[in-house]
Structure 1
Amino acid sequence: MEAETEPGQTCRSPACLPIGPRRHRPPAAAGCQRRRFPFDGPRERRESEEETRVTTTWITICDTCKRDDWAARGVEDTDGERLARLVEAAAAGTGIRTRRTACLMGCDHSCNVAIQAPGKLAYTLGRFEPDETAAEGIVAYARGHAASETGQVPYREWPQAVKGHFVTRHPPLPETEAAE
């Protein structure tokens, strides 16, 4: 039997056998205390406050993005402004923060967003239609990013609305400056 760990849970049984970063196999009658949790892998219990700090995942939305047919549609708001309003509404009450920026310099891939958090992988996603489906998918992916210790969300957990929309992935910045 394999099991996954709920965030913040650590198996206390010395007989448990880890079989990967997300799974373990408790021997029969080992007294395993891990519970099944389908969304996130194990997180080891941390002793210091610094290690247990909570990081906020941000969605940065380019509000100047204009899709190729923007002028022909004769709409006043940019596609980025429309997407920003929808993402902000979808993120309300989720713990995911949003902010707008004047340009993410991904004009060939508009509409663009960035998903970031301190100490985690960051992603730029683009080619979104400014609609509710895209906004909900972006926020759902950001929630997975927030729940992940590294910012990497397993592909099987990606919302359909973000598949095919990844433009770049950036490693986290170093936490301390390199000694000179």
Structure 2
Amino acid sequence: MATWITICDTCKRADWPGPAEGAPEPPGARLAALVEAAAEGTPVRTRRTSCLMGCDHGCNVAVQAGGKLCYTLGRFEPTEEAAEAIVAWAALHAESASGQVPYKLWPQPVKGHFVTRHPPLPEES
């Protein structure tokens, strides 16, 4: 089963000037584009959503796969370095049977960005 990165493309940060005419797109949309580009050619899949309801942690992503631990990460700057680290960590999640990735393997730019961890849903019988 594929590991997915779901990126909030409406995430805003305190320094974003708002949706004024000529203002840049929201930081979440910029991060989404960077994550999508970084994921090209990897086994990780991406999708966008309008809101992950993590506004206090602006620039949020969720990393999920069936039968595995799922994670929400936030407080990212929309940079190539952050996007590449998110994808690298998600690739490690994909390789893990449980979704748990040993801390020593985490790319430095994701450390300190984990917001939540959710257990996998129970299998239906």
Q: TM-score, normalised by structure 2?
A: 0.95
What displacement does 1:175 show? 1.1
Equivalent residue number for residue 56 of structure 1: 2
Deviations 1:7-39 (A, max 9, x none): xxxxxxxxxxxxxxxxxxxxxxxxxxxxxxxxx
User: Identity over the aligned pairs, expressed in percent?
Assistant: 72
What displacement does 1:95 show? 1.3
Greater RCO (Cα-Cα under 8 Å, separation 6 or more)? 2
Bigger Rg, structure 1 or 2:
1
1:138 has 2:86 as partner:
yes
Query: Whole-Å Cα distance in 1 between the matches of residues 42 and 23 of structure 2?
Result: 30
User: What letter matches 1:58 in structure 2?
Assistant: W
Equivalent position to 2:77, from 118, 129, 138 = 129
Query: Whole-Å Cα distance in 1 between the matches of residues 104 and 117 of structure 2?
Result: 18
What displacement does 1:157 show? 0.2
5+ residue gaps, structure 2, are none
Q: TM-score, normalised by structure 1?
A: 0.66
1:78 has 2:52 as partner:
no
RMSD between superposed Cα atoms in Å = 1.1
Query: Whole-Å Cα distance in 1 between the matches of residues 55 and 88 of structure 2?
Result: 24
Query: Whole-Å Cα distance in 1 between the matches of residues 84 and 103 of structure 2?
Result: 17
What displacement does 1:81 show? 0.4
